[in-house]
C-alpha cells in the first residue's frame, strides 16, 4: 500500500465527515418536512444556518461539535504516537471543551454535558464512562461521531481497530451500545482503507465491529437499556438494498431505524445511507443532511465511511473550498499526513 494512496483515503475520511457535519448542521432537530418547508426543498449544498437554533451563529459550511471532537481525538492519537490510552481520550475531550467555546457547552450532547467538569476534577475516566442515571447517558451518538481516528490507525486490522475504538469510547460512552456503535463505524473505516475493499466488505466489517463491540461491552461496560446496534444495522442494510430510490430509503430508514441522537439509530442510519448511496460521498452526506433528526451527526458518521471508501480525490473541489474557508482552524492536510505516517507504519509492521 503506497503512502499517497493511504493519505488520500485518510484525508477523505476526515474531510467528508466534516463536510457532512457542516451540511447537516442547518437542519438539525427538524423533520424531513420541516427541512423542505424552511429551505424550499432538500439541502444539496452548504447553506446559511441562521434559521436553526443550534447553529444560528455559524458560518455557511462551518462544522459543529462533531468534527471538532473528531479533530481533537486525531490530535491526541498523533501526540500519543499511536499508543493511545483512556487518559489520552479523556484529555482530548477536556481540550475540546477549552478550545471551542463556540461549541461547548452550546452543542454538548446528553453524555458530554455531564462529563467535562468531572474529567477536569480528576475523576476516573473509566468509571465516569460507565455512569448512568439519566436518559441517553452513554448511549448517545457522540462515541460514533468522533471515532474516525480509531478507524484510521490500523488499516484492515479489525481487532486492533476495536481496541482503539473502545479505548476512545471508554471515558464517555462506557456501555455495550456505545462500544458497539463506535466499533461498527471504526471497523467500516478500517476496511475501507484497504485497496481491495468494496461495499460488501465495508458493511461486513461494520457488522463485525458492532457484534464484537457489544460482546466486549457486555463483559466490561455498563449494560444500558435499549435496542442493539447490530440489529439496527441489519435493518438498515435491508432497507438500503431493497429501496429503489434514495428518497424511499430515507423514508424507510427514518421510520424503521430512526434518526434520533441515540448511537443505535445514528450509526445504523449512517450505514444505511452510505450503502443506499453506493458509497458516493456527496449523495451520502446529502442524504444525511435531509434525513431529519440529528442530521449533522448522521451525515458526519456516514461521511466518514464514504470518504474512507472513495478518498479525498473524489470529493467535490468547489464544495471543499467553501468548507475549507469556513473552518480555518482545522489543518486537515497536516493531521492527515501525520495519521498516514502512523497508519502506514502499522500496516507495514502487520505484514
Q: Where are the domains of the chain?
A: 3-350
Average per-residue pLDDT for the chain: 97
For 63-82, what is each residue's pLDDT tens digit? 999 999 999 999 999 999 98
CATH topology of domain 3-350: ADP-ribosylglycohydrolase fold (1.10.4080)
Contacts of 132 (CB under 8 A, 6+ apart): 138, 175, 222, 224
Q: Which of 321, 333, 346, 336 is nearest to 19 (CA)?
A: 321
- C-alpha torsion 151→154→155→158, nearest 10: -70
DSSP calls for 25-51: GGGTT--HHHHHHHHTS---S----TT
Binding residues: 64-66, 294, 296-297
pLDDT of residue 351 exceeding 80, the answer is no
Q: Which of 73, 61, 69, 70 is nearest to 24 (CA)?
A: 61
Over residues 271-291, mean pLDDT: 98
Name the 3-class secondary structure at 257: coil
pLDDT of residue 265 exceeding 90, the answer is yes
The whole-model pTM stands at 0.98
Q: Which of 106, 169, 102 is nearest to 141 (CA)?
A: 169
pLDDT of residue 107 exceeding 90, the answer is no
Q: What are phi and psi of 333, to 5 degrees?
A: -65, -50
Binding residues for Mg(2+): 64-66, 294, 296-297
Amino acid at each position: 500500500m503506497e503512502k499517497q494512496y493511504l493519505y488520500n483515503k485518510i484525508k477523505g475520511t476526515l474531510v467528508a465527515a466534516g463536510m457532512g457535519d457542516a451540511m447537516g448542521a442547518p437542519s438539525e432537530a427538524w423533520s424531513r418536512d420541516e427541512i423542505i418547508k424552511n429551505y424550499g426543498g432538500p439541502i444539496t449544498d452548504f447553506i446559511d444556518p441562521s434559521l436553526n437554533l443550534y447553529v444560528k451563529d455559524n458560518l455557511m459550511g462551518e462544522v459543529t461539535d462533531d468534527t471538532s471532537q473528531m479533530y481533537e481525538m486525531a490530535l491526541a492519537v498523533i501526540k500519543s504516537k499511536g499508543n493511545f490510552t483512556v487518559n489520552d481520550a479523556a484529555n482530548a475531550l477536556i481540550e475540546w471543551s477549552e478550545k471551542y467555546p463556540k461549541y461547548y457547552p452550546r452543542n454538548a450532547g446528553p453524555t458530554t454535558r455531564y462529563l467535562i467538569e468531572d474529567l477536569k476534577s480528576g475523576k476516573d475516566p473509566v468509571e465516569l464512562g460507565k455512569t448512568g442515571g439519566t436518559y441517553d447517558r452513554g448511549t448517545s451518538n457522540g462515541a460514533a461521531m468522533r471515532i474516525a481516528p480509531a478507524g484510521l490507525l490500523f488499516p484492515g486490522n479489525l481487532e486492533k481497530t476495536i481496541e482503539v475504538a473502545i479505548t476512545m469510547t471508554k471515558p464517555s460512552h462506557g456501555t455495550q451500545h456505545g462500544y458497539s456503535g463506535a466499533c461498527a463505524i471504526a471497523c467500516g473505516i478500517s476496511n475501507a482503507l484497504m485497496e481491495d475493499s468494496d461495499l460488501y466488505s465495508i458493511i461486513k466489517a461494520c457488522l463485525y465491529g458492532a457484534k464484537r463491540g457489544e460482546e466486549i461491552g457486555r463483559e466490561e461496560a455498563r449494560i444500558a437499556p435499549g435496542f442493539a446496534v447490530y440489529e439496527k444495522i441489519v435493518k438498515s442494510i435491508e432497507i438500503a438494498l431493497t429501496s429503489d430510490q434514495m428518497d424511499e430509503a430515507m423514508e424507510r430508514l427514518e421510520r424503521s431505524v430512526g434518526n434520533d441522537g441515540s448511537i443505535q439509530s445514528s450509526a445504523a442510519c449512517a450505514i444505511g445511507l452510505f450503502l443506499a448511496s453506493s458509497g458516493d460521498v456527496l449523495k451520502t452526506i446529502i442524504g444525511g443532511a435531509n434525513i431529519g433528526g440529528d442530521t449533522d451527526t448522521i451525515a458526519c458518521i456516514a461521511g466518514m465511511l464514504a470518504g474512507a471508501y472513495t478518498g479525498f480525490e473524489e470529493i467535490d473541489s468547489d464544495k471543499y473550498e467553501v468548507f475549507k474557508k469556513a473552518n480555518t482552524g482545522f489543518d486537515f492536510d497536516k493531521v492527515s499526513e501525520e495519521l498516514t505516517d502512523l497508519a502506514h507504519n502499522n500496516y507495514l509492521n502487520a505484514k
